[in-house]
Amino acid sequence: MSDTAQYRLELRGVTKAFPGVLANDQVSFSVKPGEIHALLGENGAGKSTLVKMIYGIMQPDAGDIVWDDNAVHVANPKAARKMGVGMVFQHFSLFEAMTVLENIALGMDSSLSHSELETKIRDVLHLYGLTLDPHRIVSTLSVGERQRIEIVRALLLDPKLLIMDEPTSVLTPQEVAQLFNTLRKLSARGCSILYISHKLHEIQALCDNATILRGGKVVGECDPKQETSTSMAEMMIGGNLKQISKGAERTFGDAKFTVSSLTVPGEGDFGVALDDISFTVRAGEIFGIAGVAGNGQNELLLALGGEVKTERGDAITLDGKPLGSLGTTLRRYFGLCAVPEERNGHGAVPEFSLADNAILTARNRQGMVNWGIINSRSATGYTEGVIKQFSVKATGPAATAGSLSGGNLQKFIMGREIMQNPEVLIVSQPTWGVDAGAAAAIHQALVDLAENGSAIIVISQDLDELLAISDELAVINEGRLSKTLKVGEASIDEIGLMMGGVHGDPFATAETTEALHAH
């Protein structure tokens, strides 16, 4: 690519407002040809709105988008692609029952025959050293391979700028390394990359420059290689980041929560069956379960929380009491609380007030019901306590759950369960969608709860999160649980290979085996 322009992309005073929110306020920054440029900020800082304007999904209210030294109007995504902008979204838009080739063909603006398109795909794969079979059905692919389809789709345009939105949130460490390899090759060929991620150590490893947004404004620029993860997080939140303080000599009590040979059939066509899962969590211990999305995490949460009962009552025990054949209400009565991954509709009823949502799960442990009559004063008081202690931005206990932002609803649901002081707490994705400051507060609340003697199980796709707060962890893959590893003794590579399916088992995929030899 011949590059005469000083900047590939320049934003000058770009502003975008929605009712009641100034999403972007006079945002200006520039990206050079071949530069890997990070866009950093907490949830709601305005990153997604900004890239949607660059990609033509939205239009700015004021300011200019300048491309190769010319001010441009990006009317729609097709115009953006024609200009040379490719985008890989956080949530993939793929048809599971179709092949890789068919999915890519659907996303193309030009009409090519399948044989011409396949030749072009194979050329791109070869050029960037990517492995992907164009004739595989999408439903048989790992998350990393699915992401590769989106990347190949974007690369077929020979883009001058590639936008990546949270590209590694569901990848194994080995898949992340492979993605970075591809992005560095792209950069070397002159393609600029705009990279959005909350994983700051990845920004340090990959990016040349970073623009930091807070509350819709640019608050700083930095060279990530000269910064620490903490210093960048503090620029994002505009204050000091609380470090998690764990008691140095943590002691654990007796086995509190035991799961033995838990086997549950998968629901429907795409459900994952749980196969012979066993683990034990002691009082005061945090047990982490890592894994790439879609390997049985949701099924495990439903079985542990009581939404799905087991045939054997003793498959799940709390302080020796068999819970397996009991439903959610009785499990909660015995002291088991759970937070599902899906907040809206599963963790909370969007149309209900926060106080009513508190009654749904806390009524017995918090004495909100007497002789079948709801004590609304007690429910309101408890809800006010949760809002205050977990810094939930809401108008009060009467606010509906649906009126809260995703991050604030997550803080409310986590607080609602933690403040019940459960004997056992099972949480899926505890900090999904919350920013660095709120994530640190949630992590500390979990650590404090454990130190008071609760047994805690954290199911998360974020390996850094699990390594920071867990005492022991295991990996779930295709509905099976690996051996238990002590945090501190487990290597990232070993965990990553287990996430990809290598458990010393014969069904290791070719890719993870290659990764194994690479180390």
Residues 213 and 355 in one domain: no
Does pLDDT of 503 surpass 70?
no
Cα–Cα distance, 499 to 337 (Å, whole number): 27
Cα–Cα distance, 337 to 304 (Å, whole number): 10
CA 270, distance to chain mean position in Å, is 21
Residues 207 and 261 in one domain: no
Residues 438 and 410 in one domain: no
Question: Comparing C-alpha atoms, which of 472, 476, 467 is closest to residue 501?
Answer: 476
Of the two residues 189 and 112, the one the predictor is more confident about is: 189
Residues 299 and 174 in one domain: no
Residues 215 and 268 in one domain: no
Residues 23 and 169 in one domain: yes
Residues 491 and 429 in one domain: yes
In a domain, 257, yes or no: yes
Residues 483 and 505 in one domain: yes
Residues 299 and 393 in one domain: no
pLDDT, residue 184, reads 94
pLDDT tens per residue across span 386-416: 999 998 888 899 999 988 877 789 999 999 9
Does pLDDT of 519 surpass 50?
no
pTM strictly above 0.85 = no
Cα–Cα distance, 408 to 45 (Å, whole number): 14
- For strands 21-31 and 85-88, give the pairing: unpaired
Q: Give the range among 58-62, 133-137, 163-167, 379-383 with minimum mean pLDDT.
A: 163-167
Does pLDDT of 239 surpass 80?
no
Residues 413 and 442 in one domain: no
In a domain, 305, yes or no: yes
pLDDT, residue 3, reads 52
The range of the structural domain enclosing residue 374 comes to 345-421
Q: What is the 3-state secondary structure (H, E, C) of 278-317?
A: EEEEECCCEEEEECCCCCCHHHHHHHHHCCCCCCCHHHEE
Residues 166 and 26 in one domain: yes
Domain boundary residue, one of 421, 450, 473? 421
Contact 217, 47 (CB under 8 A): no
Domain boundary residue, one of 213, 237, 261? 237
Of the two residues 315 and 94, the one the predictor is more confident about is: 315
Mean pLDDT of 150-177: 85
User: What domain count does the chain have?
Assistant: 3
Does pLDDT of 195 surpass 80?
yes
In a domain, 340, yes or no: no
Q: Give the range among 243-247, 428-432, 444-448, 478-482 with minimum mean pLDDT.
A: 243-247
In a domain, 38, yes or no: yes
Contact 45, 407 (CB under 8 A): no
Mean pLDDT of 83-112: 85
Please, how many CA atoms are within 13 Å of residue 448, restricted to the half-sphere of its CB? 11
Contact 154, 89 (CB under 8 A): no
In a domain, 354, yes or no: yes
pLDDT-based confidence at residue 509 (cuts at 50, 70, 90): very low
Task: Answer positive or negative: Cα dihedral of 50, 52, 56, 60.
Answer: negative
| DSSP code per residue over 118-136 | HHHHHHHHHHHT----TTS
pLDDT-based confidence at residue 435 (cuts at 50, 70, 90): confident
pLDDT tens per residue across span 57-87: 999 999 999 999 999 999 999 999 999 999 9
pLDDT-based confidence at residue 506 (cuts at 50, 70, 90): very low
In a domain, 3, yes or no: no
Cα–Cα distance, 15 to 234 (Å, whole number): 24
In a domain, 189, yes or no: yes
Contacts of 9 (CB under 8 A, 6+ apart): 30, 31, 54, 65, 66, 67, 161, 192, 194
CATH number of the domain that residue 38 is part of: 3.40.50.300
Domain boundary residue, one of 395, 421, 447? 421
Cα–Cα distance, 198 to 273 (Å, whole number): 32
Residues 229 and 370 in one domain: no
In a domain, 2, yes or no: no
Contact 67, 45 (CB under 8 A): no
Does pLDDT of 173 surpass 60?
yes
- 108 burial (CB, 10 Å; 0-12 / 13-18 / 19+) is middle
